[in-house]
């Protein structure tokens, strides 16, 4: 077992979200007996600490459904209410990468870029983020442990970075209080996250010296690099040099590095997303993995969601997912993403992954295409290729611990981000340069893709898609490159609900704040356009 998230009762019986008025109980990590929220209990610091980390992979206390963190009146399907699944939906369905077959509440509006502040995913994600922020605030008020406190502060900063990126502005507090939380603009949230991440670095473990699955200095460096890469969007002022500085701290790490190990017929890139990615060499690329174990972390979030939603029977027969739990390929790849690998040339129709990869000349083209059209033209089930990037199989040939849930850890932060962050920031600041070329070529060499002598910003834009497709970050990159709301030069299938793509308002570059929180907290202001 690779899990450090243990079954235990969290004895902070009731957590009040001061940001809005939502009150919910937080009682444990996995299978626990519900506690009476009126009952005084002693604090269990380890359980609360575990719960903070568990927020990346679990949705509640009893597994996939039955005792969720988010109340049913906010999201009545616990399986859909996890941090990663909701963030992924908001950042992928709205872009040129991912489609969805089912008409789940809230999804069509995301796919067609016509979402309101009441969109179910946007609404529930807001409360999920502040639920975790409140867990962090509770821990920090009750526990004094320099290293663990720094880790919790980093996770809190990461959640505030999601608030800043998704909603632009919002309530901000570092305390549990009955007072209404003050409203922070995007620039104010940026400053908080920047200062917080810098302040904790010295208290975090040295790189590679913490328990696998827990953060260390490299996580702070990479989040600062991400923050500075997007600074112009968030604050109006570019911080390219700072993005380069912190990205290179990750690139030059004495512990973390790109995985270049291949084994068992799997490429080095595939190894990142297999069930033994905690021991097969990929662990040195994962700066913050969400830990998954098929026996212990049973949810429909994180890597479970990615594997189940992308597989149907035909995919599993040709490229085994390693599970017996598939959702009939309800997720699908948009043709605009496939173009990043094939350009104007049609991708092959094949159930042989080796044929697809050879045709693309890139190990990252992990598509199943046989029987599916490359482009989504009517949003029918047989349109759009399948993603076979994420799997519950091991490179050493051993069986995973379970087939109904997965063992594959989810790399929330990985080293490759630093390479593209540096390349983009340096090209934006200095134009084409040899260091940027070197870092992009290292990523492409790992994928057995062709090497070039120079790269433009347009090349970097496409490389973000090729390296990180379906990993839940695409919207952020589109916004930074001016390819999301408020433009009509870059189109994809069913953008703005139009089969061939159409423009939508730049107001949708952020989501709206929930009306319930606006009503409960008079300090807040709704985003323009909502």
pLDDT of residue 174: 97
Q: For residues 179 and 211, is the Cβ–Cβ distance under 8 A?
A: no
Distance CA 507, CA 510 (A): 6
271-309 burial code (b ≥16 CB/10 A, e <16): bbbbbbbbebbbbbbbbbbbbbbbebbbbbbbbbbbbbb
Interval 405-430 mean pLDDT: 98
Q: Are 101 and 108 in contact (CB under 8 A)?
A: no
> Which residues, including other chains, have CB under 8 Å from residue 324's CB and lie 6 or more apart?
403, 404
Q: Does the pLDDT value for residue 446 go beyond 80? A: yes
Q: Which domains does the chain have, with CATH numbers?
A: 1-143 (1.25.40.390), 146-256 (1.25.40.390), 268-412 (no CATH)
pLDDT-derived band at 65 (thresholds 50, 70, 90) equals low
Give the tens place of pLDDT for each residue, 9-22.
Answer: 232 333 433 333 33
Q: What is the pTM of this model?
A: 0.93
In the predicted structure, residue 179 carries a pLDDT above the cut 80:
yes
CB 363 within 8 A of CB 269: yes
- For the four alpha carbons of 436, 439, 440 and 445, in that order, the dihedral sign comes to positive
**Predicted pLDDT at 381:** 86
Q: Note the pLDDT of residue 23.
A: 31
Task: Name the strand (E) or helix (H) holding 170.
Answer: strand 170-171
Are 202 and 140 in contact by the 8 Å Cβ rule? The answer is no
pLDDT at 60 (0 to 100): 83
Band (76; pLDDT cuts 50, 70, 90): confident
Helices (H), 404-473: 416-430, 434-446, 457-468
51 SS3 class: helix
Per-residue pLDDT, averaged over 467-489, amounts to 98
The β-bridge partners of 9 are: 28
Q: Please, are residues 191 and 175 in contact by the beta-carbon 8 Å criterion?
A: no
Which residues have a Cβ under 8 Å from the Cβ of 190 and sit 6 or more positions away?
A: 164, 227, 231, 234, 235
The predicted-structure confidence for 250-261, as pLDDT tens digits, reads as follows 999 999 999 999
**Cα separation of 23 and 38, whole Å?**
13
- 497 CB neighbour count, 10 Å cutoff: 14
Within a 10 A sphere around the Cβ of 397, how many other Cβ atoms?
A: 10
- Looking at residue 63, its pLDDT comes to 64
- Token pair 């929930």: residue: 514
Residue 71 pLDDT grade (very low, low, confident, very high; cuts 50, 70, 90): confident
Beta bridge mates, 411: 289
Could you read off the pLDDT of 5-53 as tens digits, one per residue? 432 223 233 343 333 333 322 223 222 333 333 334 567 899 999 999 9
C-beta of residue 17 within 8 angstroms of C-beta of residue 227 = no
Angle between helices 146-167 and 217-229 (to 10 degrees): 20
Inform me whether the pLDDT recorded for 85 exceeds 60: yes
Residue 157: both structure tokens together: 């900063």
What mean pLDDT do residues 460-473 have? 98
Output the pLDDT for position 72.
80
pLDDT tens for 153-167 read: 999 999 999 999 999
Q: Output the furthest CA–CA distance in the chain (Å, rounded).
A: 66
Q: How far apart are the first and last CA of the chain?
A: 47
């Amino acid at each position: 077992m690779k899990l450090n998230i243990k079954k235990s009762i969290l004895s902070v019986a009731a957590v009040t979200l001061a940001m809005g008025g939502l009150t919910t109980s937080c009682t444990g990590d996995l299978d626990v007996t519900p506690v009476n929220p009126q009952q005084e209990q002693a604090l269990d610091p380890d359980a609360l600490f575990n719960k903070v980390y568990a927020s990346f992979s679990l949705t509640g206390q009893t597994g996939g459904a039955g005792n969720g963190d988010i109340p049913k009146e906010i999201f009545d399907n616990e399986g859909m209410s996890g941090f990663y699944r909701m963030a992924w939906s908001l950042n992928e369905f709205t872009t040129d990468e991912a489609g969805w077959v089912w008409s789940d509440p809230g999804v069509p509006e995301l796919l067609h870029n016509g979402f309101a502040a009441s969109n179910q995913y946007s609404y529930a994600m807001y409360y999920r983020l502040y639920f975790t922020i409140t867990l962090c605030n509770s821990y920090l008020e009750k526990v004094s442990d320099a290293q663990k406190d720094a880790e919790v502060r980093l996770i809190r900063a990461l959640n505030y970075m999601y608030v800043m990126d998704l909603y632009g502005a919002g309530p901000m507090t570092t305390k549990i209080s009955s007072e209404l939380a003050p409203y922070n603009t995007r620039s104010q949230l940026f400053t908080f996250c920047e200062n917080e991440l810098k302040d904790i670095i010295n208290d975090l473990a040295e790189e590679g010296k913490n328990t696998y699955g827990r953060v260390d200095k490299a996580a702070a460096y990479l989040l600062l690099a991400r923050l500075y890469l997007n600074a112009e969007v968030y604050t109006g002022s570019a911080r390219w040099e700072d993005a380069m500085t912190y990205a290179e701290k990750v690139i030059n790490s004495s512990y973390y590095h790109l995985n270049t190990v291949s084994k068992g017929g799997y490429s080095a890139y595939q190894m990142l997303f297999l069930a033994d990615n905690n021991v097969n060499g990929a662990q040195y690329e994962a700066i913050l993995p969400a830990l998954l174990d098929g026996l212990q972390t049973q949810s429909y979030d994180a890597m479970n969601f990615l594997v189940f939603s992308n597989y149907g029977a035909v995919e599993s027969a040709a490229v085994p997912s390693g599970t017996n739990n598939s959702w009939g390929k309800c997720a699908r790849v948009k043709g605009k993403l496939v173009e990043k690998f094939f350009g104007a040339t049609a991708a092959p129709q094949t159930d042989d992954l080796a044929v697809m990869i050879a045709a693309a000349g890139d190990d990252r083209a992990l598509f199943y295409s046989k029987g599916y059209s490359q482009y989504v033209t009517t949003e029918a089930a047989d349109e759009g290729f399948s993603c076979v990037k994420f799997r519950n199989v091991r490179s050493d040939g051993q069986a995973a611990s379970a087939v109904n849930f997965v063992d594959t850890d989810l790399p929330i932060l990985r080293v490759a981000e630093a390479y593209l962050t540096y390349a983009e920031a340096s090209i934006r600041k200095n134009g084409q340069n040899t260091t940027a070329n070197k870092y992009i070529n290292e990523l492409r060499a790992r994928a057995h893709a062709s090497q070039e002598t120079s790269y433009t910003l347009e090349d970097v834009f496409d490389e973000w898609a090729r390296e990180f497709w379906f990993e839940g970050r695409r919207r952020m990159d589109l916004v930074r490159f001016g390819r999301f709301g408020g433009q009509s030069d870059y189109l994809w299938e069913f953008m703005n609900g139009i089969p061939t793509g159409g423009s939508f308002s730049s107001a949708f570059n952020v989501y709206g704040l929930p009306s319930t929180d606006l009503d409960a907290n008079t300090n807040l202001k709704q985003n323009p356009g909502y």
